[in-house]
């Protein structure tokens, strides 16, 4: 429905050519902005409603008791079955933080969600074979688990700058939580709207940058700069992919085209994973949530993991 509305607004009402860069960019912007806005409002509101029945401290204690990365494993599996792009997963990441779920666990979800889902798995299987698809899915989940565990061990909770509740310093217990259903609904709507007000502008800016890249940067550009046969190919592919914003499901055909041009599979996958898990629009949105120190550490850790996966796929193929 959102895509139909974006098509109508862009191509029918706006009379833009679907094949033109500006038509493609505007359509991309309208669709992704509305989609992420609705996700922010719905996800944060839903999680806030659930929290009225579960004190955040108890949720935090539940995940804290899970040893040896069990919480990271659960979050990564949840991410693997939710088909969100990197920017769309941010509302759920914020919801996790609001529920006081450990930071490393929240990161495991946010890393895996844009990288692995059933659509990508089927596309990878049909394009590259089920062995490659399975290895890719496992590598994405493992990346989410390990990176989340590393981020969790660093104790970086103080680097979260988004105000997560209005009761800082107070014990979050059942005594302050709304009791009646009507109060719970009002509380949840207020929480969702408050978070939306903090993020709407930065979301629009981030998606706008992604839309410009989507419409005006041709695929030939990437083929030209990725077609290098050296140990630097994987890091270059990762760095080129970071500024771009797109979902894995739309990138699989591009990756196939790159490999058809003679680019090693691992290099092409590193390019795709960097686009999916790390992007400039995502960074702009996350800067509203965390400090630059945490943002750089997150991007750097994930980028290194993606490079390792790229080298492994090149070695295996």
- Say what the pLDDT of residue 176 is: 54
CA distance 304 to 228: 19
Give the pair of three-digit tokens for residue 124.
Answer: 């990878």
Do the Cβ atoms of 114 and 84 come closer than 8 Å? yes
Treating both helix axes as pointing N-terminal to C-terminal, what angle do 130-153 and 70-80 enclose, rounded to 10 degrees? 140
As averages over each run of 10 residues, the pLDDT of the chain (317 residues) reads 90 88 88 80 78 63 66 85 70 80 88 79 78 91 93 87 54 56 87 78 72 69 63 87 72 73 84 85 84 92 94 88
- pLDDT computed for residue 141 by the predictor: 94
Give the pLDDT of residue 282. 82
Residue spans per domain, the chain = 2-161+182-316
Contact residues for 9 (Cβ-Cβ < 8 A; gap 6+): 30
């Amino acid at each position: 429905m959102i895509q139909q509305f974006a098509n109508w607004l862009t191509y029918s009402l706006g009379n833009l050519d679907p094949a033109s860069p500006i038509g493609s960019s505007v359509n991309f912007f309208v669709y992704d902005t509305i989609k992420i806005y609705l996700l922010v409002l719905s996800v944060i509101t839903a999680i806030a409603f659930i929290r009225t029945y579960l004190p955040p401290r108890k949720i935090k204690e539940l995940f804290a008791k899970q040893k040896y990365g069990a919480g990271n494993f659960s979050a990564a599996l949840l991410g693997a079955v939710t088909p969100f792009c990197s920017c769309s997963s941010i509302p759920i990441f914020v919801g996790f933080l609001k529920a006081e779920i450990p930071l490393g666990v929240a990161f495991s979800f946010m890393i895996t969600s844009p990288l692995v889902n059933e659509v990508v798995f089927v596309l990878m299987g049909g394009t590259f074979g089920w062995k490659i698809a399975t290895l890719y899915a496992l590598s994405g989940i493992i990346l989410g688990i390990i990176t989340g565990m590393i981020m969790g061990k660093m104790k970086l909770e103080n680097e979260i700058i988004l105000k997560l509740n209005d009761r800082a310093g107070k014990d979050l217990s059942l005594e302050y939580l709304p009791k009646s259903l009507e109060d719970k609904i009002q509380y949840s709507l207020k929480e969702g709207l408050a978070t939306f007000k903090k993020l709407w502008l930065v979301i629009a800016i981030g998606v706008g940058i992604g839309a410009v890249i989507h419409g005006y940067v041709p695929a030939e550009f990437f083929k030209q700069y990725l077609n290098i046969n050296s140990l630097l190919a994987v890091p270059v592919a990762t760095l080129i992919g970071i500024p771009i914003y797109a979902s894995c499901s739309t990138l699989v055909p591009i990756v196939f085209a790159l490999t058809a041009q003679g680019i090693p599979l691992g290099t092409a996958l590193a390019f795709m994973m960097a686009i999916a898990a790390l992007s400039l629009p995502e960074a702009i949105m996350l800067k509203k949530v965390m400090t630059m120190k945490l943002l750089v550490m997150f991007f750097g850790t994930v980028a290194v993991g993606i490079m390792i996966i790229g080298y492994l796929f090149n070695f295996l193929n």
